[in-house]
Every structure is written in C-alpha cells, then in structure tokens.
C-alpha cells in the first residue's frame, strides 16, 4: 500500500490516543466517518498495542499506523500488531531500518537540516517535521524545502484548523498531523459526533487549500 498516495488525497493524519481498545475503535470509526482514513495510534498509554491491534482488525476503513515509536523494538511490535506505517518523534536509525526491512513506511521526526540530511541518506523521501511550530513553522519548511528538493514533509505539533490551510499550501508538505481532531474531552465524554465534525472540517479545509472541490 502506498500511504503517500493516500495522503495526497487525504492530507491530514489524526492521532488516536486511548488506553481502551473499544475507545480506540470508536474514535477511529468517528474519524473515518468524517473522511479521515489514515490515523496514528500513539504509543502513549499502557495498552497502546492492544488499541493498535483493535483498530487494525476491526476498523477496515481506517489505515492504522503507530505513532510515538521510540525504538526498533517498539517498531517491530507495532508492525506485529498490524501497523501499516510507523511515525516517530525523532530520527532513530534502528526504527528506520526495522521498518525498511519489513517494507513498512516510516516517518521519523526531524527538526534540523542535519536531521533531514540524515533521513535523506537513510533513503527516506518523507519525514515528519516536529514540533512544527517551535521548529520555525512555514518559513522554516519553505527554507529547507529549497535545499532538500526531493523531500516531503508532514508537519506536526502546533498544527490546528486555524493554520492547516497555510501548511498544506506549501508544495513540499505531503500531509499534516495533529491531535486537535481527537480532543481529550470529547473522547472522555464519548462525543464521537464532535470528532466526526472536526474530521469533516479538516477535509473541507484540505480540499480548499489544495484547490479541490
């Protein structure tokens, strides 16, 4: 599966954070109902692996990946639990190689030109840009894109509905990630209609930013 091709048409990657597989399923279904079909199940809870497996198995309309993957061991666990892609907050050779050996797309976090150059020399052509707002935001993305002409970016961290269009208007940006689509209060309240509405809003913003109807 070419995740990058999917992200060209659905250029927003929400985060699914849950400690209960049933909640992860409900959140993922709500996102998919709003048009977002690629999501990171983040490794920030004790039962994250169970949540990833549940989404991978029970939400076929969602392409489930693993986020906040910190080590090669975690990357392998993610792949074993059904992850279709892996995202890391930083750039780790072991994580990248584990995913490459398994044929699973990996999007490591980069912050500096040195990070991006290292990723390039590991054979990657898409990287996460994190935390985007602190790392210089849109001006920084435009600056590094001029140097790394074949690299595409997934800015995450500080992206919201308010600035999503600006980020997606940068030609080198493949997609944006963010937690604003799955607010903790809505998840805790079981307000999955709100999550669907936020997903629909993000899709509308993305289509407008990309000149689609």
| Residues acting as catalytic residues | 40, 128
Half-sphere CA count of 156, side-chain side, radius 13 A:
27
Closest C-alpha among 36, 65, 59 to residue 198:
36
User: What distance in Å separates the CA atoms of residue 143 and residue 212, rounded to the nearest whole number?
Assistant: 26
Joined tokens for residue 23: 């909640």
- The values of phi and psi at residue 194, to 5°, are -65, -40
Handedness of CA 73, 74, 78, 79 (dihedral sign): negative
């Amino acid at each position: 599966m070419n995740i990058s091709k999917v992200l060209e048409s659905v250029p927003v990657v929400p985060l699914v954070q849950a400690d209960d597989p049933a909640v992860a399923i409900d959140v993922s279904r709500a996102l998919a109902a709003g048009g977002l079909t690629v999501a990171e199940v983040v490794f920030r809870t004790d039962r994250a692996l169970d949540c990833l497996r549940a989404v991978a198995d029970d939400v076929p309309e969602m392409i489930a990946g693993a986020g906040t993957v910190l080590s090669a061991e975690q990357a392998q666990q993610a792949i074993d639990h059904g992850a279709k892609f892996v995202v890391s907050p930083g750039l780790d050779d072991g994580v990248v190689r584990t995913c490459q050996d398994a044929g699973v797309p990996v999007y490591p976090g980069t912050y500096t030109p040195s990070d991006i150059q290292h990723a390039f020399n590991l054979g990657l052509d898409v990287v996460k840009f994190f935390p985007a707002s602190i790392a210089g935001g849109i001006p920084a993305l435009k600056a590094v894109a001029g140097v790394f002409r074949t690299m595409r970016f997934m800015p995450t961290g500080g992206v919201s509905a308010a600035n999503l269009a600006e980020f997606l208007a940068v030609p080198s940006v493949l997609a944006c990630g963010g937690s604003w689509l799955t607010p903790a209060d809505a998840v805790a309240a079981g307000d999955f209609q709100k999550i669907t509405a936020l997903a629909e809003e993000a899709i509308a913003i993305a289509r407008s930013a990309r000149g689609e109807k």
